[in-house]
Structure 1
Amino acid sequence: MSDQLKHPVIISGGGLVGLTLAQYLERVGIPYLLFERDESPDARYGGWGISINWVTPALRKCLTPEAFCAIKALHNDPRTLEEDTIPYQYFDLETGKAKTTHVLPPQLRVSRLKLREILAQGVKINWGISVTGWEEVDDGVLVSLSDGKTVKGSILAGADGKNSNIKRKILGEEKAKLYTFPIGFVGLKMRLAPEKIAPFRNLSRIFFHGTHPNGKFIFFSTISTPEVNGSKGTENEYFEAQLNMSWNAGDATQDILNLPPAEKLKELKKAATEGTGFFKELREGFDNIPDDTEVLDIVLQDWMTESWRPSASVTILGDAVHPMTMYRGEAANHGMFDAYMLGCQLHKVSMGEKDTAKAIEDFEREMISRAQEAVSLSRRAGFEVHDLDAISESSALFQYPHVQRLEALMSQ
């Protein structure tokens, strides 16, 4: 091990990105300390599903074969893993006709909570502790913690989310300020019997998007099938699913956000019948949503990634660098790819091929360029999906110019 890494890598944040980095470091024998501000794994809501698509080859390299197989087993419909492609449709929510169709490559759609559980296996997490500051020194960095202690590390890697304390200290409060979209957004997780979820899954077994001419957007995704959640063969087989709806803030639907919890679902269901309403199958699906389903308000924010003064021992990654909307389904992919790329650079340091300053410089150069492109596309998509006429093959929603370049990086 190079003297450059004689102290552990300090990871701030025990979400998907911080855990992926820890897994990579574990595999190549680089010591680390991971601090997570939450008191426990279930301290916050983790009910959404996420897509694992182009990052799959990199994620495989971060994990043991057993862990990667466990993640594949989480896929929301295991049968589709046997298929070479996935049919996808973007619906006109008024007519039910496809606005555009695609054939997607195989990908995983998994529970965020279950994925985090697998990534946490074998990782020592210091719960309830956050990084409050640091001082760069000749042989690394002195990191101050919320419990009053100080630890010494070779580098500090901030994977502490979109409201990153480390990013704010690097860039300053004003430059690090997030952009809030003028868009209302709600989401829910539901548990449905096979016959009740059928109207949704007849449209797509994995996920679909759609826009109504009035500007309302819908995203539906299966989270788990009876085979995945363990209810197969019981008297109460069930599916878990995620439904999101968003709209431009000037829409009267914005009033949903001001309602008490018990009234939100009633108003959400009204969207299926108001005016010309949603097409028949989708209306049936909305009718089947259980009345006790909790509807959550989500504030959509992003940050147009910009460069910062490079450091020899401090960097940030994941949502700290490129928070983005969920519309393109690749935020977690970018974050886990950051972890892989930083891990690769630190592995080179451990082999004596470069020092930590050069490793961080090379890591940030690739990440910042990629993040700027991704956040820009994500912001465009966030507005386009509320305009049915803007949806086409050339929409930002369907553009992935970086994938071929990243595949080349992952093959090295």
Structure 2
Amino acid sequence: METKPDQTHDLHVLIAGAGSAGLLVAQVLKRLNIACTVFEQDASPYERPRDWNFGIYWAQSRLDECLSEDMRARVVDVQTDPSHRPSEDTVMPIYNGQTGEHMKDLPAPFSIRLHRRRWLEMLSDGVNIKFGKRLKSVTTEADIVTITFEDGTQAKGNLLIGAEGAHSPTREYLLGIQEAALLPSPVVASVSICKVSREAAQKLRALHSRYVITFHPKGIFTFMSKEWLWMMMQTWRSDADTGLIGRGKEPLKLEKWHEMGRDFGPPFKEIFETIEPSSTIWHNRLGYWPTKPWDSKGLVTLIGDAAHPMTFHRGQGLNYAITDTAELLQQLNGMTEHSGAELAAAVKRYEADLFPRGREGVIASNENTNAVHDWETMMESSLFKEGLQRAESSQTT
């Protein structure tokens, strides 16, 4: 069965991926009265068992550009703590994981910490989403792009936006599998959404109401964030599992976290000791992809993690996806008419900004990830010295 462009509109945009970037773009297109359909490979919004939270640190004004006035007012309600009101003096505290000593408060003015599922539910409002649609192939002809799904159905439009995240099939179409492949980071990550003892939770909340970062002299980075459950994350350098990049496998057991936790001081040691035994730990190697130019004549493009998958230690990913969307909005607003040619020209202008900006962000984030896993260089890392501002690479190429 084939899905054709909506005949009541002069343009139809296809979006692959119903994550933050894909749904935010859909909201922008809805405001511009450009028809769009979002295709998501998962069978439902609740298929993935893991949920998490993430922050907006420097892209708040760009987010305002993308959302309607009504939806802007709803953002505070999808925070991990809806009672929190962003302020100029908001900080993220850093502690020495080994001693428990407070090292520094990172400035995070007006930052917002979002609960992922509630955030995506908000962005889904009024958006046409087709679930269970895994992309198989892409073809282009004149000003039409046709996508075929693994279930045999097709959809046609004037533009395909790949927003499937780091493992983007659209990026593979644009550049080929080899050129689109993620580069392995020397750092691995383990994440759990878990319960800890009441006493340990109270001690951790006494340090900060929402989150805590620890650096450990042995090169371990830890992030702990509170909702009704705790999001616990640890990263460190490892030569094991070198081929495992971002696939959410579970070779790491809770006993390993207990073992690592023995080197932590209070209250962090108690956190690891009291994690609920049934907790699932997702473990993977981090990957990244310094953005490379592509040329699809304005018919196929990328946004968010599909365009610039980066490591997460400075919390840049969502902020870059928001910036992508705001920049695309600016170019779409510059169209003189709703035609395929004008749309393609707007996409090319968007890409001219995206290519160098995305590459710089990926490289800078990777440099910072490497730095925070070495105690001496950590003190000179961008995260420790500058906080959660936009990443800038020391490299020029």
Give the TM interval when normalised to the shorter protein.
Answer: 0.7 to 0.9
Give the corresponding residue for 1:256.
Answer: none
SS at match of 2:85: helix
Aligned-pair CA distance for 1:310: 4.7
For residue 369 of structure 2, what is the amino acid of its counterpart? G
Q: Is residue 184–residue 286 contact of structure 2 (8 Å, CA) maintained in 1?
A: yes
Q: Which sections of structure 2, spanning at least 5 residues, go unmatched?
A: 1-6, 241-248, 393-397
Residue in 1 that maps onto 2:268? 282
Decide which of 47, 62, 66 is 1:62's aligned counterpart. Answer: 66
Cα distance between partner residues in 1 of 2:102 and 2:134: 47
What secondary structure does 2:139 align onto?
strand
Deviations, residues 192-237 of structure 1 (Å, cap 9, x unaligned): 5764412222222222222211112211112x2xxxxxxxxxxxxx
Which residue identity lines up with residue 329 of structure 1 in the other structure? Answer: G
2:260 is matched with which residue: 260, 271, 279?
A: 271
Q: Distance in 2 between matches of 1:286 and 1:199?
A: 13
- Equivalent positions of 1:101-120 (< 5 A) are 101-120=105-124
| TM-score after normalising by structure 1 | 0.83
**Higher mean C-alpha displacement, 94-103 vs 393-402:** 393-402
Task: Name the SS of the counterpart of 1:389 in structure 2.
Answer: helix
Q: In structure 2, what is the equivalent of residue 369 of structure 1?
A: 356
How do 1:119-138 residues align onto structure 2 when only pairs under 5 Å count? Answer: 119-138=123-142
**Further displaced range: 365-374 or 128-137:** 128-137
1:29-80, Cα deviation, whole Å (9 max, x unpaired)? 1111221111111122341111122222222232333333333112233454
Following superposition, the deviation at residue 106 of structure 1 comes to 1.7
Tell me if structure 2 keeps the 8 A contact 1:80–1:86: no
2:235 match: 246
Counterpart amino acid of residue 249 in structure 1: S
Q: What is the distance in 2 between the residues matched to 1:68 and 1:171? A: 36
CA distance in 1, matches of 2:47, 2:336: 35
Compared with structure 1, are the counterparts of its residues 105 and 161 closer, same or farther at alpha carbon in structure 2 (3 Å cutoff)? same
Change beyond 3 A, Cα 1:401–1:112: closer
Counterpart of 1:94? 98
Q: How does 1:6-405 map to 2 (within 5 A)?
A: 6-81=10-85, 83-191=87-195, 195-222=199-226, 224=227, 239-250=228-239, 264-273=253-262, 277-349=263-335, 351=337, 355-392=342-379, 394-395=381-382, 398=386, 402=390
Q: CA deviation at 1:396?
A: 5.2
Q: 1:103 to 1:396 in 2, by over 3 A?
A: closer
Deviation track 1:291-325 (CA, whole Å, cap 9, x = no partner) reads 22211113311111111225231111111111111
Query: 2-side partners of 1:303 and 1:312: how far apart?
Result: 21
Q: 1:104 to 1:261 in 2, by over 3 A?
A: closer
Residue 395 of structure 2 aligns with which residue?
A: none
Alignment check: 8 A CA contact 1:12 1:35 kept:
yes
Any stretches of 5+ residues in structure 1 without a counterpart? 225-238, 252-259, 405-412
Q: Is the 8 A contact 1:99 1:392 kept in 2?
A: no
- SS of the equivalent of 2:37 reads strand
User: Aligned pair in 2 of structure 1 residues 394, 286: CA closer, same or farther (>3 Å)?
Assistant: closer
Counterpart contact for 2:10–2:338, Cα < 8 Å: no
Aligned residues of 2:54 and 2:114 also touching (Cα < 8 A): yes
- Alignment TM-score, normalising by the size of structure 2: 0.86
Find the residue that maps to 1:271 and give its secondary structure: helix
Task: State the shift of 1:250 in Å.
Answer: 5.0
| Paired amino acid for 1:279 | G
Identical positions, percent: 27
* Change in 2 beyond 3 A, CA 1:399/1:289: closer
Tell me the CA shift for residue 289 of structure 1. Answer: 2.0
Letter in 1 for 2:346: A
- The letter for the 2-side match of 1:333 is N
The 2-side partners of 1:86 and 1:291 are apart by 34
Give CA-to-partner distance per residue, 1:226-269, whole Å, 9 cap, x none: xxxxxxxxxxxxx3221111221159xxxxxxxx9798223202
Q: Which is richer in helix?
A: 1
Shift of 1:89: 2.8
Secondary structure at the aligned position of 1:81 is classed as coil
Contact 2:303 2:324 in 1 (8 A): yes
The answer on whether the counterparts of 1:99 and 1:391 sit within 8 Å (CA) in structure 2 is: no
Q: What is the match of residue 245 of structure 2?
A: none
For the residue of structure 1 that corresponds to 2:177, the secondary structure is coil
For residues 86 and 335 of structure 1, what CA distance do their matches in structure 2 show?
Answer: 22
Q: Secondary structure at the match of 1:342?
A: helix
Q: CA deviation at 1:394?
A: 4.8
Specify the code of the residue in structure 2 equivalent to 1:332: L
2-side partners of 1:384 and 1:205: how far apart? 27
The answer as to whether partners of 1:157 and 1:314 remain within 8 angstroms in 2 is: yes
For the residue of structure 1 that corresponds to 2:297, the secondary structure is: coil
